[in-house]
Amino acid sequence: MSFACIFVPDFPVEAVLRAEPELRSQAVAVLEGKPPLQKIISVNEAARKTGVAADMTKLQIEGCGEIVLRDRSEFQESAAHQALLDCAQSFSPRVEDAAGDTLLLDLSGLDKLFGSLPKIAREISCRAWQMGLGTNIAVANTLDAALLAAHGFSEVTILPEGKEPEILGGLPVEVLFADGTEFAKDRDEILETLRRWGIRKFRDLAALPAVALSERLGQRGLELQRKACGGSHRTFVPCDPPLVFEEAMELEFPLVLLEPLAFLLSRMLDQLCARLQSRSLAAQEIHLEMTLENGRQQDSERTVFQRAIHLPVPLLDAKTFLKLLQLDLKAHPPGAPIIKIHLRIEPAKPRPGQAGLFIPSTPEPEKLELTLARISAVVGEARAGSPQLLDTHRPQAFEMQRFVLSDSARAGTPVSPDIDFEGTGVLARTAEHHYSNGKETSEALVTALRIFRPPIAVTVNHQNGRPSHLTSKRHNQIAAEVLWAAGPWQSSGDWWEQDAWVRDEWDIAVQEKTGITLYRLIHDLLRGQWLLEGSYD
């Protein structure tokens, strides 16, 4: 059995640095508490070198140089912990959530997948760094040995079997209480006792006689000595972390422009996509929630601005997501300065990518989504999509639906191409297929109607009950005698509804400058209007 421990030192600071990676080169300290009683709970290495330590107050560190101070954010720490879990889950399905900053992994049998244990440990470290977290990794045969080594040694530590006491012997005895054991409440008392005995290192404690230690410290002493020797009675408790992919950021200053917002969204999307990739998942929905400044307390809906982007296929491309969010926010601005951003992604299994040689080429889903969003920004929302006729006889009853290429188009049955490779110019097989059946041909070749949106109101003169002349005030080109008129096609419906319709339809031919034009003329009997609905073309 081999176990690995992932430990994030200075976890509150690492959570802040993960959200703001540009601060890594600076001295950062995290404060907790209400002003003016704020105290530092965590500092990074650069701040530690300037003399800042935990439990210092804000006033005490004023003379310690230029230090970036951040308030503790539980949501950032939660997101960092989730990222750590995703990192561990990408290597092993058996993960124990030991603490917020500590995870234990069962590495049994993984050497065939990922290589030797040192290689696995280095890969875990690299993956965690990619997710914005600096970690200590330790691999050992026992859980406690791995845990103590991760807390005691920086970066990657490998404890070979049987050499645990030797390697752990140099660690200070304070590390024994780093894992939050049941003796943590007696930590100060035991440490004081050991200090009086002159015990400073693990090896000093391991060298004490067990009986004498038991007589003075009881079972606590024996347990600490066992841990100092690299032994363990700890049981591995694997967890099943929920698939929660969300990031949040509280801003110090309200954002008024969308461009700086895009930078923050890009960073959050990068982190979320890295987490999704580590779980071999893709995004199905993106939910953006922003808390706005100056929101009225009574009206909570106006305080929080929410947008959701539903993707037709699972995608995993941070740039695509960012562009979609940008276009959506341009079309629907929040309306007030932003003080908090919360981004959540609903995961889904990635789509299969199997394709075929004879499948017609289709747009790539990522490009198609961006193209549709850009076109919607140009022509207006819900004006680019697939029309779907409604189940009614009401004229011009259709709705626009989202244009989604079905999976059959991408991975469905291959369609044999009816292309003239021989260059004869005639598509013999296609013609045979489509035109051998006369009925199908007659159905396919129809006289199309071009709809006027909105319809053109006209003045109609009648003769013998038929339209004989029509003019339009707004369209000067329509003022002519009707060459022939056919109809009426009478239709009505929905008389039980508010928007009932009763109308007569005429097909008329009108001589115009360019020639004879065929129009569909309708007489709205409820409103008493004559309208040109469209032209045949």
Partner 1 sequence: MSTLAINASLSSSLPMILQDKRTAVLKHIAQSERLDSVRSASRLEVRPKPEMLSVGIPELDAMTGGIPRGCLTEICGAPSSGKTSVLLATIAAATRREEACVLIDASDSFDPSSGEAAGLNFNKLLWVRCGKSSSVPSTRSTRSGQAENGRQSSANPNNSVFPNRANDQRLTANDFRRPRKSNENRLEQVLKSTDLILQSGGFGLVALDLAGIPDKFVRRIPLASWFRFQRAVEHTKTALLVISEFSCSQTCAALVMKLTAVSCQPLAKSTVHNPTHESKLDLVHHAEPICGSSRKAAACESPAWKRRVEEEVNIESRKGRHWICETNENGSNDKKPSREGANDISPSLQRWESEKKISSPVGTAESSFSHVPSRKPSHAQVLKEMQIEAEILRSRLVHDEHRKPMQSVRTSFSTQAVRAG
Q: Which stretch binds partner 1 (CB under 8 A): 237-245, 306-314, 342-350, 415-423?
A: 415-423
Of residues 468-527, which lie at the interface with partner 1 (CB under 8 A)?
472-473, 484, 486-496, 500, 502, 505, 507, 509, 512, 514-518, 523, 525-527
Residues in contact with partner 1, shown as a per-residue x/- string from 171 to 210 under the rule CB under 8 A: ----------------------------------------
Contact between 304 and partner 1 (CB under 8 A)? Answer: no
Write out the DSSP string of 218-249: THHHHHHHHHHTT---PPP--B-----EEEEE
**Is the omega angle on the peptide bond into residue 488 within 30 degrees of 0, that is, cis?**
yes
Of residues 333-392, which lie at the interface with partner 1 (CB under 8 A)?
333-338, 359-364, 367-368, 370-372, 374-375, 377-381, 383-389, 392
Secondary structure of residue 203 in the 3-state scheme: helix
* Shortest CB 1 distance to partner 1, Å: 51
* Shortest CB 340 distance to partner 1, Å: 13
Could you give the CA distance from residue 135 to residue 188 in angstroms, rounded to a whole number?
Answer: 27
Q: Which residues of 60-96 are buried (b: 16+ CB within 10 A; e: fewer)?
A: ebeebeebbbbebbebbbbbbbbbbbbbbbbbbebbb
Of residues 417-436, which lie at the interface with partner 1 (CB under 8 A)?
417-421, 423-427, 430-431, 434-435
What are the tokens at 341?
A: 């951003």
Whether 247 contacts 80, CB under 8 Å:
no
Q: Of the two residues 52 and 470, which places its CB atom closer to partner 1 in the complex?
A: 470
* Shortest CB 9 distance to partner 1, Å: 38
Contact between 312 and partner 1 (CB under 8 A)? Answer: no
Contact between 169 and partner 1 (CB under 8 A)? Answer: no
Q: Which stretch binds partner 1 (CB under 8 A): 88-96, 183-191, 225-233, 455-463?
A: 455-463
Among 222, 244, 409, 411, binds partner 1 (CB under 8 A): 409
* Shortest CB 343 distance to partner 1, Å: 16
Q: Of the two residues 350 and 385, which places its CB atom closer to partner 1 in the complex?
A: 385
Among 162, 465, 498, 499, binds partner 1 (CB under 8 A): 465
Q: Which residues pair with 429 in a beta bridge?
A: none
DSSP 402: -
Q: Of the two residues 74 and 364, which places its CB atom closer to partner 1 in the complex?
A: 364
Q: Of the two residues 206 and 460, which places its CB atom closer to partner 1 in the complex?
A: 460
What are the tokens at 122?
A: 């280095």
* Shortest CB 346 distance to partner 1, Å: 24
Could you give the CA distance from residue 375 to residue 396 in angstroms, rounded to a whole number?
Answer: 24
Q: Which stretch binds partner 1 (CB under 8 A): 32-40, 81-89, 271-279, 439-447?
A: 439-447
Write out the DSSP string of 157-179: EE--TT-HHHHHTTSBGGGGGTT
Q: Of 98, 210, 204, 102, which is closest to residue 151 (Cα–Cα)?
A: 102
Contact between 306 and partner 1 (CB under 8 A)? Answer: no
Among 53, 237, 331, 355, binds partner 1 (CB under 8 A): 331
Contact between 122 and partner 1 (CB under 8 A)? Answer: no
Q: Which residues of 339-370 are buried (b: 16+ CB within 10 A; e: fewer)?
A: bbbbbbbbbbebeeeeeeeebeeeeebbebbb
Q: Which stretch binds partner 1 (CB under 8 A): 24-32, 34-42, 45-53, 410-418?
A: 410-418
Could you give the CA distance from residue 145 to residue 132 in angstroms, rounded to a whole number?
Answer: 26
* Shortest CB 354 distance to partner 1, Å: 16
Whether 471 contacts 532, CB under 8 Å:
no
Q: Of 116, 122, 118, 164, which is closest to residue 141 (Cα–Cα)?
A: 164
Measured CA to CA in angstroms, residue 46 lies from 14, 67, 345, 524 at distances of 13, 9, 34, 80
526: how many CB neighbours lie within 10 A of its CB? 12
Residues in contact with partner 1, shown as a per-residue x/- string from 215 to 254 under the rule CB under 8 A: ----------------------------------------
Among 330, 407, 481, 511, binds partner 1 (CB under 8 A): 330
Instruction: Tell me phi and psi for residue 181, to 5 degrees.
Output: -75, 180
Q: Of 344, 286, 317, which is closest to residue 78 (Cα–Cα)?
A: 344
* Shortest CB 398 distance to partner 1, Å: 5
Contact between 256 and partner 1 (CB under 8 A)? Answer: yes
Among 9, 186, 394, 480, binds partner 1 (CB under 8 A): 394
Q: Of the two residues 36 and 387, which places its CB atom closer to partner 1 in the complex?
A: 387
Contact between 447 and partner 1 (CB under 8 A)? Answer: yes
DSSP 131: T
